[in-house]
Structure 1
Amino acid sequence: MAQVFCLLVLLLTAFGKNAVSQNLSVEDLSVQYRGHATEVDVREPKLAWINKSSLKNSKQLAYQLQFAKSIKDLKSGVFLWDSNWQSDASSINVKYKGPALQALTNYVWRVRVKDNRGNVSGWSVPNKFSTGVLSKTDWKGAKWITDEKLADSLKNPLPTDGEKDKANFANQLPLFRKTFKTEKKIRNANMAIAGLGHFELLINGSKIGDHFLDAGWTNYSKEAQYVGFDVTDALKKGDNAIGVMLGNGFYFVPPMKGRYRKTKTMFDLPKLICVLKIEYTDGSVEEIFSDESWKTAKGPITFSSIYGGEDYDARLEQKNWAKPNFDGSQWKSVLITDGPPKLIAQQQEPLKVFETFEAKKLADINPQTSSFDLSQNFSGIIAIKLKGNAGDTVRIYPAELINKDFTVNQRASGRPYYFQYILKGKGSETWQPRFSYYGFRYLEVRNMPKDGGKPVQIVELKGLHTRNAAPKTGSFSSSNQLYNQTYKLIDWAIKSNMASVLTDCPHREKLGWLEQVHLMGNSVNANYHIAPMLNKAMADMRASQLSSGLVPETAPEFVFFKWGGDIFRDSPEWGSSAIIVPWYSYQWYGDDQVLKDNYQMMVNYLSYLQAESVDYINYKGLSDWYDLGPNPPGVSQLTPKGVTATAMWYYDLTLMCKIAAHLGKTDDVQKYQAIAEKVRSAFNAKFFDAQTKQYATGSQAANAMAVFMDLVNKADRQAVINNLVKDIEARNNSLTAGDIGYRYVLRVLQEAGRSDVINKMNNRSDVPGYGYQIAKGATALTESWAALPTVSNNHLMLGHLMEWFYSGLAGISQAEGSVAFQQIEINPQLVPSVNQAEASFKSPYGEIKSAWVKDGKSFTLNVEVPFGCDAKVILPSGDATMDGETINNSKSGIKIGSGQYTFTVAEK
């Protein structure tokens, strides 16, 4: 007893004196979901960190935050704010509560924690962030500037598909510069800049940052994004120069014949607005704004289109144009113009260059033309190094597919699209496009020397993969090589379509088709940290919602689709992202602010769906797009429109009841429950056959969606699931469900414990599906199950097996009622073709791991549960151990806390 008392005294003493424990540490600090935020535009940003401990069953009991203006201040105790110890278990979505943050200012912070054993961590590595513009007044004297204005008669912010051109021209992209002097020692310097459609920022001749296609595209009629940069190290005492190069992006799609265009959007010609705040060591502040004092000239990019490619004439370069000593006397004054009514911070991660692919020559098509293979279908640009004479031209056509004669095939990806470079003729020249990208694997290089001279020497040719810089957070592998290839296939489609928005494809359309944000959401979230991207998607939906309440199928909406009536604008399976995505985001990341911010959008959309229904059935939209029927893929062939649209509407209503309940809106809960019951009754009366236990045509999509959305009466549920399985088996275990239905087929089968059926459907290459695509040479997920050459071969659609890899094979899922994966379920579903599988997923609280091996009748499972989390592990039946100790292998599962565990099962 005395020993226990002494131990308790020691623990309490250590707790009180904040003795640092070697068992406890704090890592991965973030502000507003980003590890290196540079444009935080809220006054109470949300903070997060990940705790780690070598001890099991660890939980945080308290934390302490310290904020300062610099690392030096932090270390010397000059704090902006010290929270002192807060008795709080929160380590995500912790609000800053210190003194008011200032706009365009650098801050650093650190955190330490106490755990449930009295351990105190050391201080975390400091995290740095910068604020952006916190109010409209922070822009002060900044003005929108341009080099020329588009005639009002040509402006067209929302063209219709098939609309005829009013003009035929391309704009040469402009350069802008501003010089200024600094006479004092600089402490910090931060810049906020919006360049429409895109921009590159240079200071004293050097590009700032490593971003691509800043800023993200938006509904420019309502808002535009700005980007924040810490430019402290780029400035110097004395003369300085700011240089900006602008690109068109979706803000202006040049109406140039002979180049591909999907949309004909023309908001206006490129323009910019910026503010630079310089804070000196003596405490004084100086600000530089975009205004009449700036100068402009045309640059070397003679054509640039987000859809058609980019042309660069190196002979037009003005050397050192962004340096202070450049002679800009021939440059003209800028024009003052107007811009979007609202400026918001770029909340999603920027695009950056990631993998590099070396080009391998396939063939010389003729003396001037060669083709190359980059071995992977990806989103991106080319990088080329070459030698030749001034005026020589090289034109590069990228494509996903290649013809038998080795020419590239752009038929399904948008044609003609090309990159073109005209040499200046001064030694080795290197170039890569700045303001356009494409999806491709192959290159056709046309060598066009001036006056028929000596061909240009191609010294080096590469492909550069560009994507949203969302951090990679997940991994999966197994003993089944086809599944490993499928994981890679889907992952490349995800990566290639993570841009400013989640796009459908990286070439033909590049549009934010909304169904994938919720359908592929779990698959993307398992692999990448997408909270910032989801916030951007929700902002785009809010900005695109019509006064009627309709959320169009694409957001931002850059084209008004009228082909086929309204089926490509008004489809509940797409628009329902307005309700599903905020709820999923809350579940994944635990921040209910997304529910509050988007609640009115949800209310308006549900009102619209009800207004458009007939006797509580909604017949709008595309239904199960691209399902496998007797005809070429397109609008649903096997499932009636009313089935999928109404099922989605009902699902929206059930989620809205949960959202309203969480937000304390009890009247709304009752309202939406009542509507949901009417929809449910109407759906079953219209589509359910009580004798056959089938919905509508009995398609895989119809039965699966009815089960998943809980539209089926409990007494009939198993019979409907059995019919789903029978349909699959009757088709030789092959699928028919398309874009909308397939996710729900997999979800229903997994939840019913029928991963064996999922395995039979997907562990094969002889019928349309993933293996079939791989067998046909696909390296990214294709738009059609059959990898048709007439459609996109890099598409964010139908990749739902990724979700099963994590939640089914590896068995990682979130427990019912949990948010941010604080309660986890580990339940691997074993299938005959796999004897080993492992996956890891970095949740908001830390990494979750599941790795298992099955050897005969022996099963071993290794599990890791993050600090502060709990899990339930469900094992195969048999004699079980945990960390070598015999345990009761209950069917209800084994409950564990944080830490690493090894389970074994010996089957009887």
Structure 2
Amino acid sequence: MLRTLPLSGSGHRIGRFRVFAGALLLVALAPAQAADPAKVPEGLRAEYATGPIGLDEPAPRLAWRSPVARQTAYRIQVAHSPEALQRGEFVWDSGKVASADNIHIAYAGPALASRGRYWWRVQAWDGEGRVSGWSTPGFWEMGLLAPADWQARWIAGRTPDAHDWRNLTLDIDLTLTGKSIDILFRALPSGKTYGDAYVWTLSEGAEGAALTASVRRYPGGSSASVKTDVLKRIPLARPLKDKRSRLRIRAEGSRIVTRLDGKTVDTLEDATHTHGTIGFAAADPRTATIHSVAVTGTGSAPFRTDFAHNDNPFTGGSVEADGLAIPAGVPRVAFVLPIEAPAPLVRRSFAVARKPIARARLYYAGAGMPRVLLNGAQVGSPLGAGFTAYDKRVLSYTQDVTAQLRPGENVLGAELGRGWYALTDPDEWYFHAAPWRAAPALKAQLEIDYADGTRQTVATGGDWQAADGPARSDSVHRGERYDARLLPAGWDRPGFRANWRPAAVIAGPAGKLAAANAEPIEAVETIDAVAVKEVAPGVWVHDFGRIVAGRPVLEVRGPRGATVSMIAGEKLAADGRVVPVSGLIHAQLQTDRYTLAGKGVERWEPSFGYRGFRYVELRGVPGATLKARIVHSAVARTGSFASANPLLGKIDAAATGTILNNLHGFVTDTPAFEKNGWTGDAQASAGAAARSLDIARVWTKWLADFRDAQAPNGELPEIVPATPYYGYENTPGWSIIWGPTTPWDAAALILPWELYTTYGDTRILAQSHDMQRRLVDYTATYIKAPDYRRAAGLSEWMPPGPLDFLNARGGGVDAVTTAYFFHEADLLARSSAVIGKAEDAARYRELAEAIRTAYNARYWDDANGWYRTVDARGVAGPAAQIQNVLPLAFGMPPRGREQSVADAIARDVDKQGLRTGVFGIRHLLEMLSDYGHADLAYRVATRSNEPSWGWWIANGHSTMFESWSLESRSRDHHYFASIADWMRQRLAGLRPGAPGYKTVLVKPAIPTGLASAEAVMETVHGRAASRWKVEGGRLTLTAEVPANTDGEVWVPERFGTIAVPQGAELLRREGGYTVYRTGPGIFEFRTGGGA
């Protein structure tokens, strides 16, 4: 007789078997022991976190890992302290609740108090009615819940309108070195550049030197271009090229007087623009050298610079010996250099009493990226949990700072980075013109609770001091320019005596404060360069071996005033130098500059943002060294995959690594180029993310951003967070995405559904329901009966070959658009049923069926059993992979014809190779595996010729690309990472058989030629796994099922007679599998051979 062996951990067992003379013999095992009453619930969590502080959820959801195989009831007790739990002084006692649930149990006691810490414990009953011991207490802590709890006010380092002059006198000392230079004044960010401005152009060509006075306006609408009207052209008497000139522009009201070298050359009247900043625009690689700039006027303080000591107050250009060289080789046309204010420093000194401190909490919110410091030590992360639409919602943070305080003088301070709140770089998506845009700001409140019951509060307000800091320019896209000579030594520590100006008390952003419950974006790893090469005299390229999202970390020794520049990028040019990143933002991106203080070894890394890079080009000071700090949302890894094929392991590592590189408070589009939350991209890789990472808190935050972004008519933009100027109907942004764009919009339904299936989270379905309903209703005003067709917008993305917005190679936009609209309506019907909205469930089920019927009437080829393409004239064409994959995955084919569709896909893939982009590949391998083509799916997954994942690996890359081509713009885009989900759910065979893995489904699609595979998942209930191995035609399949769940194991019949472990109950035979039910434990199935 074989013994049952206990596992480490509670509620598990191992089933074993014996086979005699080829016949299956189940060996009776000793009955599994009931749950030991000494075993207690473990892994206590509140709102997905262990011991969270700063919550604002009025009914936090509690979860634990059950100590019993079959939980039948639980009891939760909540008190103000562990001691109160022992004394029976409860805030809430649930009593014994008959339920098998051990996740998402909402607190149901009295209203929770601001700042309150609540301790809780739980016990569970098993199927025999026996109760476990009490868990070790866990806790959660509330933040500031009401506006009245905040004494702090928003402060900034300066007034929001700095460098916004009305009447002004502008003096510029310059030398024209190219064909022309544009001087902008009364300039405002509009459109994709400083589109509203006066533009005075100094030029010299075949017709001689001239001054051209123009007015530039942005017309809005669908046009992304500015309109320039020439007011007059004034010929100049002397040459300008390579000669020093002094230009003065005096604008008072509508009168503008221009003088050159002390002589009046023009006077005109124009009232188009009334106020704004100043700047320069350059069309040539080398246009001019600016020796000095001075501005006086009304509305803002005077401004002057002669670029002494290598100081550059503009957002671009390069300071050289005689001034600012424009544009210093930046590969952009009409490159604008507006003034940018340094990142302010704000501080407040305060005294801590010499008596015991019970606890201290810092509550704060940032408009931008505040680097908060207490006695010189950083508190939290400047990047926080990601940015939001600040006019709708502003995230607040709570930090335990008890250990950082000391008796006597203490200093609370912050360096205020711009982040996404105060962008100055004109971009494609209009973040530079966002309605919330203003000077970066801070709202902070330190509360010190002493052991004697008294409380001391230090809050931001008019008694804080401010000064310009050493970060002279900071941009999430462009990088940072830092001058260590300007760092006030010790400013953030006790003993510093500041003679600073008062901080500006401001209204702050309009959005409501909301607790940041998602993981912070922070440094998670530091790596060394694998190679350093001098590619030109004084130019060193550091190769970090793989593409990461993060920041360069500099260590340097050199003379005071020397500057080190660091250009980060994914690629190298033929000469070995880094290819500068540029594109949809009017700047050279990812370029950091550090000016030395000249005080021994200096260490620095940028604070405000992150870069996407493998290489960093360093120049300026010999002997400087670099490391790379990897930065992303600090989520845990919950899922893993392994197999006997090393290529699959490399592809899986590339998939997970690329998802993490693009996880910064939401799912981004390339850390180097855009950093935007393209929603369709995220839904393509959603399964891989959910089965690899603990993604719940980040996605929950992001889905709140979706709700903030939704227009009153129900429309959603394609990037979230968004400005009102991109992704909506009749806005200046990309017109092709006006109106519903269903493959992108579907993310609003797919992400909540993934959270439901992976975590069993019904609250996110309820929170998303109104948004989803309004979105689907809005879409139905465009895609409507009788044909539910719309041939507009975006469709399949990045199939092999040239970029194809209209998806001609994928059967046209309309087929993909309609398929995704069906998917939206179907998911909404299903989620409505889950949350008890029966009328909505019936309504959207009816809509889905109407869409399905119309789709099949237009595209279904009954004779061949597949979907054909149909052009605008209604003429049928050949079958397309995407047009068959999507309806098969979404459940649209006529009943009973699914297999014929799958077979058609398989024939096409086998004959023509891979022809899908990100949305087709998301489902292609799964559909092939589900319908008997596992061998083909495996061959596609392990190919090493273009297009394939293996093609990237074979060419030395370790991340996912933006397109199948090696010439892809970015080598760090996540949407092709969907293969990782196929590896886990189909190849290894581990899936949620019920929401939250309440049933663990083990169903591998085992291909010929692969010896083994396994997937492991830390589910909300505990560890689940599927492992299989084929040796000599015999299969060993092992299922691991956590406590308080069931297993459903599908054993392929082609491997012969199945030896079944004790505790596995035969359910049925289906589709070439024999299906068994199990309880918790580890179950090993073996076959007698035959495959």
Same fold? TM cut 0.5:
yes
2: CA distance between counterparts of 1:154 and 1:275?
37
- Seen in structure 2, the aligned counterparts of structure 1 residues 433 and 268 have a Cα distance that, compared at 3 Å, is same
- 1:177 shift after superposition: 1.2
> 1:310: which partner in 2?
480
- The amino acid of 1:319's aligned partner reads A
- 1:678 shift after superposition: 2.4
1: CA distance between counterparts of 2:432 and 2:1020?
41
Q: Compare 614-623 and 529-538 and name the one that shifted more.
A: 614-623
Deviations 1:166-219 (A, max 9, x none): 75122200111122333343212222211121112211221124x351252111
Q: Matched residue of 2:962: which SS?
A: coil
> 1:826: which partner in 2?
1002
Find the partner of 1:93 among 104, 107, 122.
104
Deviations 1:288-317 (A, max 9, x none): 322212111111111110100112111111
> 2:623: which partner in 1?
457
- 1:113 shift after superposition: 2.9
- Seen in structure 2, the aligned counterparts of structure 1 residues 117 and 900 have a Cα distance that, compared at 3 Å, is farther
**Are 1:131 and 2:142 counterparts?**
yes
- 1:412 shift after superposition: 6.8
Map 1:524-603 onto structure 2 (within 5 A). 524-558=689-723, 560=726, 565-567=735-737, 570-603=740-773
Find the partner of 1:31 among 15, 29, 46.
46
CA contact (8 A) 1:112 1:123 kept: yes
CA contact (8 A) 1:296 1:331 kept: yes
> 2:216: which partner in 1?
none
2: CA distance between counterparts of 1:203 and 1:78?
36
Once superposed, what is the RMSD of the aligned Cα atoms? 2.7
Q: Matched residue of 1:264: which SS?
A: helix
CA contact (8 A) 2:394 2:514 kept: yes
CA contact (8 A) 1:146 1:272 kept: no
**Are 1:48 and 2:224 counterparts?**
no
> 2:983: which partner in 1?
805
Normalising by structure 1, we get a TM-score of 0.90
Map 1:835-854 onto structure 2 (within 5 A). 835-854=1011-1030
- 1:340 shift after superposition: 2.3
> 1:608: which partner in 2?
778
- 1:457 shift after superposition: 2.9
**Are 1:425 and 2:598 counterparts?**
yes
CA contact (8 A) 1:225 1:345 kept: yes
2: CA distance between counterparts of 1:712 and 1:882?
36
2: CA distance between counterparts of 1:21 and 1:511?
51
1: CA distance between counterparts of 2:1037 and 2:690?
24
> 1:299: which partner in 2?
469
> 2:685: which partner in 1?
520
**Are 1:472 and 2:637 counterparts?**
yes
Q: Compare 114-123 and 222-231 and name the one that shifted more.
A: 114-123
- Seen in structure 2, the aligned counterparts of structure 1 residues 411 and 272 have a Cα distance that, compared at 3 Å, is closer
Q: Matched residue of 2:72: which SS?
A: strand
Q: Matched residue of 2:780: which SS?
A: helix
- The amino acid of 2:1077's aligned partner reads K
Map 1:138-537 onto structure 2 (within 5 A). 138-140=149-151, 142-150=153-161, 162=224, 167=278, 168-183=338-353, 184-209=355-380, 211-255=381-425, 264-265=432-433, 267-411=437-581, 415-447=588-620, 455-458=621-624, 460-537=625-702
Q: Compare 126-135 and 893-902 and name the one that shifted more.
A: 126-135
Deviations 1:596-636 (A, max 9, x none): 2121111211111111125421333211011124x345552
- 1:721 shift after superposition: 1.7
Find the partner of 1:668 among 840, 860, 867.
840
Q: Compare 188-197 and 111-120 and name the one that shifted more.
A: 111-120
- Seen in structure 2, the aligned counterparts of structure 1 residues 742 and 548 have a Cα distance that, compared at 3 Å, is same
1: CA distance between counterparts of 2:371 and 2:365?
10
- Seen in structure 2, the aligned counterparts of structure 1 residues 200 and 122 have a Cα distance that, compared at 3 Å, is farther
- 1:898 shift after superposition: 0.6
2: CA distance between counterparts of 1:595 and 1:357?
40
Q: Compare 679-688 and 144-153 and name the one that shifted more.
A: 144-153
Q: Which structure 1 residue ranges, 5 or more long, are not aligned?
A: 1-18, 448-454
> 1:860: which partner in 2?
1036
Find the partner of 1:638 among 803, 809, 813.
809
1: CA distance between counterparts of 2:104 and 2:187?
46
CA contact (8 A) 2:67 2:132 kept: no
1: CA distance between counterparts of 2:428 and 2:1064?
67
Give percent identity, aligned residues only: 28
**Are 1:739 and 2:912 counterparts?**
no
2: CA distance between counterparts of 1:820 and 1:792?
35
Find the partner of 1:655 among 827, 836, 842.
827
- Seen in structure 2, the aligned counterparts of structure 1 residues 338 and 667 have a Cα distance that, compared at 3 Å, is same
Find the partner of 2:793 among 592, 601, 621.
621
Q: Which structure 2 residue ranges, 5 or more long, are not aligned?
A: 1-33, 165-185, 193-219, 227-275, 279-337, 870-877
> 1:8: which partner in 2?
none
Task: Determine which structure has the larger strand proportion and give its number.
Answer: 2
2: CA distance between counterparts of 1:76 and 1:204?
39
Find the partner of 1:112 among 123, 129, 147.
123
CA contact (8 A) 2:736 2:794 kept: no
- Seen in structure 2, the aligned counterparts of structure 1 residues 156 and 843 have a Cα distance that, compared at 3 Å, is farther
CA contact (8 A) 1:212 1:353 kept: no
- Seen in structure 2, the aligned counterparts of structure 1 residues 20 and 711 have a Cα distance that, compared at 3 Å, is closer
CA contact (8 A) 1:170 1:255 kept: no
- The amino acid of 1:129's aligned partner reads W
- The amino acid of 2:979's aligned partner reads L
Structure possessing the higher radius of gyration over alpha carbons: 2
Q: Compare 385-394 and 676-685 and name the one that shifted more.
A: 676-685
- Seen in structure 2, the aligned counterparts of structure 1 residues 61 and 669 have a Cα distance that, compared at 3 Å, is closer
**Are 1:880 and 2:1058 counterparts?**
yes
2: CA distance between counterparts of 1:298 and 1:78?
53
> 1:896: which partner in 2?
1078
- The amino acid of 2:759's aligned partner reads Y
Q: Compare 876-885 and 160-169 and name the one that shifted more.
A: 160-169
Normalising by structure 2, we get a TM-score of 0.76
Deviations 1:846-868 (A, max 9, x none): 11111111101221122210111
- The amino acid of 1:463's aligned partner reads A
- 1:252 shift after superposition: 1.5
1: CA distance between counterparts of 2:970 and 2:82?
49
- The amino acid of 2:528's aligned partner reads E
1: CA distance between counterparts of 2:422 and 2:519?
23
> 1:9: which partner in 2?
none
CA contact (8 A) 1:175 1:298 kept: yes
- 1:511 shift after superposition: 0.5
2: CA distance between counterparts of 1:874 and 1:904?
12
- 1:47 shift after superposition: 1.0
Deviations 1:446-479 (A, max 9, x none): 12xxxxxxx4432x42111111111111111110
Q: Matched residue of 1:678: which SS?
A: helix
CA contact (8 A) 1:255 1:264 kept: yes
Deviations 1:476-535 (A, max 9, x none): 111001101100111111110111111121110100011133322111011111111111
1: CA distance between counterparts of 2:860 and 2:734?
29
Find the partner of 1:795 among 973, 989, 994.
973
- Seen in structure 2, the aligned counterparts of structure 1 residues 635 and 313 have a Cα distance that, compared at 3 Å, is farther
CA contact (8 A) 1:869 1:897 kept: yes
- The amino acid of 2:988's aligned partner reads A
Q: Compare 64-73 and 228-237 and name the one that shifted more.
A: 64-73
CA contact (8 A) 1:356 1:463 kept: yes
- 1:118 shift after superposition: 5.2
Q: Matched residue of 1:142: which SS?
A: coil
